[in-house]
Amino acid sequence: MDKVRVRFAPSPTGTLHIGSARTALYNYLFARHHQGTFVLRIEDTDVKRSRREYEESIVRDLHWLGLSADEGPDAGGDHGPYRQSERGQLYEDGVQRLLETGHAYHCFCTQERLDRLKEEQLARGEMPKYDRLCLGIPPEVVAERLAAGEEATVRFKVPAGDWPFRDLIHGPISFSAEVIGDFIIKRTDGGYAYNYAVVIDDAGMKITHVIRGEDHITNTARQLMLYEALGENAPEYGHHSLIHGADGGKLSKRHGATSIGEFRDMGYLAPAVVNYLALLSWSSGDEREKFTLEELVEAFDMSRVSKSPAIFDIDKLNWLNGLYIRELPVEELAELIRPYLHEAGIELAEAQRPVVTAALQANLVILEDAPEFAQLFVEEMDPAESAPADKLRSPGVAAVMQIMHEARAARKAEFLSLDEGHELMKEVGARAKEQGLKGKAVFMPLRVALTGRESGPELFYLVSGLPRGRILERVQSARRVAESAG
């Protein structure tokens, strides 16, 4: 096999959609697995909708995912330019070649004629397709009409026959030229058609494998015909399924977030998104589901990409994100959640940060939820007024509060390290035991006293991450509730 060269060819008409990100990922994995090259080509011929800032945001998102291209508008390379808008001369050269070799011809038909033709064909129950009226115009007449400034398109002369190919994902597929009319490759406005430009680009960039969404399957026959007419070797093609929502419809805004940027902003981690996208239509063949990008490169195999529609399953993405969050070093997670906390008006003290971060690390699903978990460590609260205050009205609670008060008062630091917190809880447990109190009878009242809630992080997090003053106040207040209950 030639050195593998694949490309990701987004149109910069919006930000990176997760469906496109998956296309980029499969190309990237295929390239890396075969020690090949991953090319980024920007398909910006739709001047009205293409924007440079979208291109930049796509490049940034790819970079964030870890899928930076080896060649592209930003990375450079020997097969550029990498923006279609800068490749006009190459497209024009190709059109001239096809005209000279008789594979293409000028068409002067007006839109009115074409519309009429289509109507008539439909009325006769025929499939609408160009009737080749202009194919018969003698070359000198064509030259005269062009010289006179008459508008013309250039059409590709579709060769008859069947166009079979072996799709890397779908297996053998064949299209009959019967159903394909001579299609326009150059428009009257001077623009070039997608199916044509993409062939000039893929051929010029020496692309060996085209991996893209299933919505492009029907374009493949036209592209293969163009390769043959241009005398170029066609690449291999693999068309992966598109992503659908749980209701079966194509994934769209109504299913929630769809762009990589939205997922990033909610606090999904790049390795989790990459892992999830890979699993959407690919499996390693065993039960294993967690893969880093490097592991995916190693394991990825096109023959294990399924052709069934991929159903987007947010629960699975959440599960993976949680796994990756739990693997992060605490300092790194602390930095990642800082902006979310800031946004929610939560500023943790330096000594409090590692404790609070460690406390929420166990249960956090997406970074955006961090404030909800951290709230506990910063809010004002008086256990006497909290919902489960009745939990404080049991025998022994006053004694437990007294023990906690003494233990915490003896430690002068505003916050404790987790080790100190563990040690404090050991001491509290041991002293309570001396008074015949243990288990839930100790821990539930303490939890209610410290947080006003019946569930939450383990106590050693609370005693380490809550400010000393608040702990002392709260256990005092809880003690008063206990004593007032007699």
CB-based contacts of 146, cutoff 8 Å, min separation 6: 106, 152
User: Among residues 212 and 474, whose Cβ is nearest to ligand GLU?
Assistant: 212
Binder of ligand GLU out of 6, 11, 378, 448 (CB under 6 A)? 11
Q: Is residue 51 close enough to count as binding ligand GLU by CB under 6 A?
A: no
CA separation for the pair 152, 319 (Å, rounded): 57
User: Among residues 43 and 61, whose Cβ is nearest to ligand GLU?
Assistant: 43
CA separation for the pair 275, 437 (Å, rounded): 48
* Residue ranges in 206-265 that form contacts with ligand GLU under rule CB under 6 A: 212, 216
CA separation for the pair 310, 251 (Å, rounded): 10
State yes or no: is 253 an active-site residue.
yes
* Residues near ligand GLU (CB under 6 A), total: 7
Q: How far is the CB of 141 from ligand GLU (least distance, A)?
A: 36
Q: How far is the CB of 212 from ligand GLU (least distance, A)?
A: 4
Q: How far is the CB of 195 from ligand GLU (least distance, A)?
A: 9
β-pair partners for 154: 106, 186
User: Among residues 28 and 324, whose Cβ is nearest to ligand GLU?
Assistant: 28
Tokens of residue 233, six digits: 């070797």
Q: Which stretch binds ligand GLU (CB under 6 A): 8-16, 135-143, 169-177, 372-380?
A: 8-16
CA separation for the pair 149, 146 (Å, rounded): 5
Per the residue annotation, which of 48, 157, 250, 253 is the catalytic one? 253
Binder of ligand GLU out of 4, 9, 67, 370 (CB under 6 A)? 9
Q: How far is the CB of 447 from ligand GLU (least distance, A)?
A: 53
Query: CB–CB of 101/229 below 8 Å?
Result: yes
User: Among residues 224 and 355, whose Cβ is nearest to ligand GLU?
Assistant: 224
User: Among residues 49 and 113, whose Cβ is nearest to ligand GLU?
Assistant: 49
C-alpha 257: how far from its chain's center? 10
User: Among residues 205 and 425, whose Cβ is nearest to ligand GLU?
Assistant: 205
Site string for ligand GLU, 387-406 (x = CB under 6 A): --------------------
CB-based contacts of 473, cutoff 8 Å, min separation 6: 382
Q: Which stretch binds ligand GLU (CB under 6 A): 4-12, 71-79, 249-257, 267-275?
A: 4-12
Q: How far is the CB of 240 from ligand GLU (least distance, A)?
A: 11
| Amino acid found at 383 | P
Cα atoms in the Cβ-side hemisphere of radius 13 Å centred on 235: 26
Q: How far is the CB of 198 from ligand GLU (least distance, A)?
A: 5
C-alpha 64: how far from its chain's center? 10
User: Among residues 142 and 243, whose Cβ is nearest to ligand GLU?
Assistant: 243
Q: Which stretch binds ligand GLU (CB under 6 A): 3-11, 25-33, 309-317, 433-441?
A: 3-11
Q: How far is the CB of 462 from ligand GLU (least distance, A)?
A: 51
Query: CB–CB of 13/49 below 8 Å?
Result: yes
* Residue ranges in 26-45 that form contacts with ligand GLU under rule CB under 6 A: 43
Site string for ligand GLU, 283-302 (x = CB under 6 A): --------------------
Binder of ligand GLU out of 6, 10, 446, 459 (CB under 6 A)? 10
Binder of ligand GLU out of 198, 251, 358, 359 (CB under 6 A)? 198
User: Among residues 10 and 383, whose Cβ is nearest to ligand GLU?
Assistant: 10
* Residue ranges in 306-345 that form contacts with ligand GLU under rule CB under 6 A: none
- Residue ranges binding ligand GLU (CB under 6 A): 9-11, 43, 198, 212, 216
Catalytic residues: 253
